[in-house]
Amino acid sequence: MNKKKILVVDDHFVVREGLKLIFETEENYEVIGEAEDGEKAIMLIEKLKPDVILLDLSMPKMNGIETIKALNEKSNLVPIIILTTYNEGNLIREALSLGAKGYLLKDTTRENLIRTVDAAIRGEILIQPEISKSIFSAKKEEQKQSSDSFNIAITERELFILQAIARGCTSKEIAFDMGISERTVKAHLTNIYSKLKVNSRSEAVAVAIEQGIIHIEK
């Protein structure tokens, strides 16, 4: 079986070495390259063709957000997972809105790391409870300073689907749980995107959490 290829982008040598040790024991993955900044990462992505990218936010030359924006300009299709020490709602929301498939803190467990990488490879997004709380808290703080409201008519089924994709479920899994076809799930997703004014699952989850439509509990 061909292993999925991971590119690690972090300016700390110890972090890169630690991640390589973790994935050395995983039969489905291998770290095929590493970079200490976004500029080098972009060059390696084109050369090595990784299946997923683990990306730090704070780096010299080009930080994580700048790297995602640069990759988006190149129509990058490689899923990106943010792995950082910054648990700040606004940063999390920006990364997810730019298309990141996950946002993990560096003190996350090995199991959460592997689950998030698994979800990203499938094209899904997986949000940990502590991350959703940070987004929710940041939005509540904004609402204290603004009288603007964000009223969206989300149906019960759409809410179920939003919560499911935030947990990393696939359309097939959601269809099975709801007793409907996968095509119907995708139709609901189209309606959700339209209502939330987004274009991807990552953006849908980010907006739904920041607006208090869903809130992931531990």
**pLDDT score of 149:** 45
Structure-model confidence comparison of residues 152 and 7, the more confident one: 7
Per the CB < 8 A criterion, the answer to whether 118 and 124 are in contact is: no
Pick from 124-133, 138-147, 164-173 the range whose average pLDDT is largest.
Answer: 164-173
The verdict on pTM exceeding 0.75 is no
Per-residue pLDDT tens for 24-45?
988 899 999 999 999 999 999 9
Which of the four pLDDT bands, split at 50, 70 and 90, describes residue 210? confident
Q: In whole angstroms, how far apart are CA 46 and each of 26, 33, 96, 214?
A: 24, 12, 22, 37
Residue 134: what pLDDT?
Answer: 54
pLDDT on residue 141: 52
Handedness of CA 82, 85, 88, 91 (dihedral sign): negative
Cα 48 to its chain centre, rounded Å, is: 22
Which whole number is the average pLDDT over 146-169?
77
- Residues 4-134, CATH architecture: 3-Layer(aba) Sandwich (3.40)
Question: What pLDDT, on a 0 to 100 scale, did the predictor assign at position 56?
Answer: 94
Q: Is the dihedral of CA 208, 67, 16, 21 positive or negative?
A: positive
> Which top CATH class is 147-210?
mainly alpha
pLDDT digits (tens, 9 = 90+) for 132-150: 555 555 454 554 444 444 5
Q: How confident is the model at residue 148, as a pLDDT?
A: 47
pLDDT of residue 217: 53
Q: For 61-79, what is each residue's pLDDT tens digit?
A: 899 999 999 999 988 889 9
189 CB-near residues (< 8 Å, 6+ apart): 161, 165, 171, 201, 204
Residue-wise pLDDT for 102-123, tens only, equals: 888 898 899 999 989 998 888 8
Extents of the domains making up the chain: 4-134, 147-210
What's residue 147's pLDDT? Answer: 43
